[in-house]
A and B are shown apart, each in its own frame.
Chain A
């Protein structure tokens, strides 16, 4: 990670650490949800923003993580064992799905993953013996951390914050490693990447599976946060919403998920004044963003820099042309 990124991560972490102490219970709950979606979107950003794959099945992995933790906890297994199992299961299913699905690209991959999401959602709804069907699974307990209760919202929030920072650092390390360069290479130009020895198939698969693992962790944290899960938050339109969060934040930008998840989780709260018009306002805001900032909100500094460079280059060309004109 660049020093700038580390500084920004520290500032963001301090902001996230201090702000909830001034919030009421609902505000803390909202911030926890923001963090949980941040983790899920970090994973999707790896798949979409860094590796360039179109996935519309992320909510399914979010759900698999949530149900795995909930089912294991109901079976008496600790949250701290259930959470990594949920992540690992999502990683393995991501590999299993990716192997055939990643043979296709772009919109076809999007549809393949969307179909997967629909199938997983049906399993969650119909397999009552396992998932509780539409009644879901309730009374999911919050975990303890070395004997410290996380039942109250604030301690649970801090636990999620620590996990988020650790995962962000791990992701930063991954992106800084040769894997990160390989991901970007296959996103920018897969044919050239392959001609340089980059095994595009393996890297694509790994990006997809790691992204799924992040969703699994987020899902597990979500289950323990809300204490009740049913299939609703894992339906296809939530995958589309998650994709939107990546795009709005800025695909391929490390801090994109912070902004994207805020738009998906916090912005609806700010738009409550609009009441029934909320979705209309939100929809138009997204349309405007896609027209003027197709690379997301975090692309604004890059666009300003590119515009400045373009102006400087034009001025240099004009000055050079003038000099040549005067000399001749």
Chain B
């Protein structure tokens, strides 16, 4: 392995639905510790790209590498065990479990084997780790409440915190600010920046909130009609004439 090996490398990935080419052979790399944003208008292929990277759909062609290893075609389960965490566009917490249980279940499968886990303690030895994340995400006052009884914003924080529990090498966040009030958008941005600094976590973020993505990401990729229009720093993207014409506007 080279020292500067990319955490994620996508080569020539393509996916069509009938006659519609949703993603047209895109290639890019995400470096370790990088926060990489993906933006683009609706129908630009962001979600298809995300789903293909996460093993939810099979691409027609192309290759996906995680830390130099080919993970193309692996299921979401296998990808998670190789260090890929994710959040979904819509809330995906386990409503009947407490917040603490949600966080514990998010990492317990990374400890021991299936059969050893039957004899493991209830919290799989993850209680302290869960509590630390609960503190970090400012949800300690609801830690023992069923997640389904929390407000939308609190559930969003639980949802994001769950993705960090297993210390994944790469975390893909699908519209983390969707339906969230401006104060919480700022809080989520601060949390992600902190976690990126403290843990060196690598993120790929899809988001429509331009302020959020431009202030958070180290580099941003713009997709239009299934192709990459530009990749660059937020400043480069803001000043890119093609991007302004096609997506950001004046």
Contact = CB atoms under 8 A, between A and B. Distances in A.
B122 A178 contact: yes
Interface string A170-188: 0000101111011011001
B104 A188 contact: no
B204 to A, nearest CB: 15
A181 B80 contact: no
Nearest to A201: B77
Contacts of A75: none
Interface residues of A, number: 25
B97 A181 contact: yes
A24 to B, nearest CB: 43
A299 B86 CA distance: 33
Interface of A is mostly: helix
A192 interface: yes
A253 B34 CA distance: 45
Given A181-B97, A192-B88, A198 B76 contact: no
B97 A188 contact: yes
Contact of B118 (A179, A191, A195): A179
A202 B93 CA distance: 21
Given A188-B96, A192-B88, A181 B104 contact: yes
Contact of A181 (B76, B105, B110, B149): B105
Contacts of A194: 75-77, 80
Interface in A189-212: 189, 191-200, 202
Nearest to B162: A196
Nearest to B125: A178
B92 A191 contact: yes
Contacts of A196: 80, 85, 105-107, 109, 162, 166
Interface residues of B, number: 33
A25 interface: no
B58 interface: no
Contact of A188 (B95, B110, B166): B95
Contacts, number: 87
Contacts of A191: 76, 88, 92
Contacts of B77: 194-195, 197-200
Given A178-B124, A181-B104, A181-B108, A202 B94 contact: no
A149 interface: no
B118 A184 contact: no
A176 B122 CA distance: 6
Interface of A: 174, 176-179, 181-182, 184-185, 188-189, 191-200, 202, 252, 306, 309
Determine which residue in B80, B105, B117, B118 has the highest number of CB atoms from chain A within 10 A of its CB, and name it.
B105
B114 interface: yes
Interface in B59-90: 75-77, 80-81, 85-86, 88
B119 interface: yes
Contacts of B94: 184-185, 188-189, 192-193
Given A196-B105, A196-B166, A197-B81, A177 B96 contact: no
B124 to A, nearest CB: 5
Nearest to B77: A194
Contacts of B76: 191, 194-195
Interface of B: 54, 75-77, 80-81, 85-86, 88, 92-97, 101, 104-110, 114, 117-120, 122, 124, 149, 162, 166
A192 to B, nearest CB: 4
A174 B106 CA distance: 18
A295 to B, nearest CB: 10
A179 B109 CA distance: 10
A198 B122 contact: no
A91 to B, nearest CB: 14
Contacts of B117: 177-179, 182
B5 to A, nearest CB: 23
A1 to B, nearest CB: 10
Given A178-B117, A185-B94, 9 more contacts: A174-B118, A178-B122, A181-B108, A194-B76, A196-B107, A197-B81, A197-B107, A306-B149, A309-B149
B118 A177 contact: yes
Which 7 residue pairs spanning A and B have beta carbons closest together?
A197-B109, A192-B92, A197-B80, A178-B117, A188-B94, A181-B105, A178-B108
A181 B118 CA distance: 11
A176 B101 CA distance: 11
A203 to B, nearest CB: 8
A182 B109 contact: yes
Nearest to A179: B118
A191 to B, nearest CB: 7
A28 B6 CA distance: 71
Contacts of A179: 117-118
Contacts of A189: 92-94
B171 to A, nearest CB: 11
Determine which residue in A197, A198, A199 has the highest number of CB atoms from chain B within 10 A of its CB, and name it.
A197
A198 B94 CA distance: 13
10 contacts: A177-B119, A177-B120, A182-B117, A188-B95, A191-B88, A192-B93, A195-B86, A195-B92, A197-B107, A306-B149
A182 B109 CA distance: 9
